[in-house]
């Protein structure tokens, strides 16, 4: 019972420490191909974060969730690389997707993804700038392998 209490205490209060990324939560925009949208990242401990992206393209909506592990890059203050994985789900209007010959109706998609990127926290102001690559394997809907890339700018708090 004591071990369980210690584990619960550590889980609940581990997130209160200052993260290795020098901020706790950030909210901003992600621009890239094929999706651009709103990005929210939250550190759950010193090195690990979860990120959610709500993206809009092809007159549809894509939701992605990622787990990311962060580490200092090149011993440069404020510069971090990260990697991880997650999943995405979306729906689109076929009439606005260039590779569909049958342009009637909508399509839903579900996939798994990986992520690798760099992020820089500007010390003087509460802003981060990042760039990433997100390979996706769509397993439902329009199946296949896709490579996404993008740039993010977020306000930190």
| Structural class in CATH, domain 19-156 | mainly beta
110-127 confidence digits (pLDDT tens): 999 999 999 999 999 999
How sure is the predictor about 3, in pLDDT bands with cuts at 50, 70 and 90?
low
Rounded Cα distance between 36 and 43, Å, is 22
125-134 confidence digits (pLDDT tens): 999 999 999 9
Q: Which of 94, 89, 91, 69 is nearest to 80 (CA)?
A: 69
35-85 confidence digits (pLDDT tens): 789 999 999 999 999 999 999 877 789 999 999 999 999 999 999 999 999
Burial of 75 from C-beta contacts in 10 A (0-12 / 13-18 / 19+) = exposed
Rounded Cα distance between 17 and 114, Å, is 27
- % of the chain exceeding 90 in pLDDT: 64
Domain locations along the chain: 19-156
Q: Is the pLDDT of residue 29 over 70?
A: yes
Q: Is the pLDDT of residue 2 over 90?
A: no
Q: Which of 125, 134, 108, 141 is nearest to 53 (CA)?
A: 134
Q: Is the pLDDT of residue 4 over 90?
A: no
Average pLDDT over residues 81-97: 86
């Amino acid at each position: 019972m004591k071990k369980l209490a210690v584990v619960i205490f550590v889980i609940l209060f581990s997130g209160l420490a200052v993260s290795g990324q020098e901020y706790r939560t950030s909210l901003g925009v992600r621009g890239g191909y094929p999706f651009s949208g709103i990005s929210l990242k939250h550190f759950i401990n010193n090195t690990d974060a979860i990120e959610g992206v709500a993206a809009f393209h092809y007159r549809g909506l894509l939701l992605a969730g990622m787990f990311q592990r962060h580490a200092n890059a090149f011993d440069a203050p404020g510069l971090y690389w990260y990697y991880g994985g997650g999943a995405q789900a979306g729906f689109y209007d076929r009439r606005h997707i260039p590779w569909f010959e049958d342009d009637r109706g909508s399509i839903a998609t579900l996939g798994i993804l990986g992520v690798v990127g760099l992020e820089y926290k500007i010390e003087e102001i509460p802003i981060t700038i990042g760039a990433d690559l997100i390979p996706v394997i769509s397993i439902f809907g329009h199946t296949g392998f896709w490579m996404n890339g993008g740039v993010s700018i977020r306000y930190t708090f």
